[in-house]
Each structure stands twice: as structure tokens, then as C-alpha cells.
Amino acid sequence: MSKLKTSVAKMVATARARIQEIETKDAIALVNDPNVVIVDLRDVRERQHSGFIPGSFHCPRGMLEFWIDPESPYFKEIFAEDKRFIFHCASGWRSALSVSMLKDMGFEAAHLKEGFSTWEKQGGPVEFAQRKP
């Protein structure tokens, strides 16, 4: 196997240098702000296992570009709202790469610097989905 030209860690560092990062405590203060949409990029299994931020919008990472683009047949209206968008994943790596890519698309957003990993530890509220009978 040939050596990669760049590592994921380097890609994340490059992304973080060009995007807005939100500290966990600051994001917790925004949970009930009607002008903020917190977008969870994690896999559905991660949300089921660890819970999720109340009121967050789930957008699987693999659908992000398609749901954001108004010209896509998969476009989601929530992304046309005049709101502040904060994306998160588990540790902040996927969300950093995602928000950097969104910036290239012309969609302004921020990301939760440390992801969901520190959310509950710092007092952030967590919900769990109801199990289907």
C-alpha cells in the first residue's frame, strides 16, 4: 500500500484553521435559541447509543452536501432558513471537515469543537429516542 499524501489529522487541522469553532459550554448556552440549528452528523447508531442534543436536526454525514444544495433533489428546507447552523459529530473531526466543505459551497456554519464527546460531561442536555415496540 502506498503512503497517503496527507493524513486525516492534517486535513482536520487545515479545516479547523479556516472555520468557526464553538466551545461546548458556549454551544450549551445556545440549545434553546430559536435562531440556532444544531445539526448532528453522526450515524443513527451513535445517536441511539449515546443520545442526542434536544432539538438537534439529524443529517447523516453522507447526505450533507445533497441536503444543503437547493438544486439537489434531496434538498431539505431547514437549510434554507435564516438561522445560525452549528454542526457536530462525536469528536469534532467529521464536523470540521464538513463545515470546511460547506464553506467551499458558500454555506456559512460553525462546528462544535470537541463534538458530542464533552457535551454531557459539561452539563449539556441529552435525549434518547423512544424504542420502537
pTM for the whole structure: 0.93
pLDDT for 78: 98
pLDDT for 41: 98
DSSP symbols for 64-111:
HHHHH-TTSTT--GGGGSSSEEEEE-SSSHHHHHHHHHHHHHT---EE
For the chain, 133 residues long, give each residue's pLDDT as a single digit of tens.
Answer: 679 999 999 999 999 999 999 999 999 999 999 999 999 999 999 999 999 999 999 999 999 999 999 999 999 999 999 999 999 999 999 999 999 999 999 999 999 999 999 999 999 999 998 765 5
Residue ranges of domains in the chain: 15-118
Q: Which CATH class is domain 15-118?
A: alpha beta
pLDDT for 131: 63
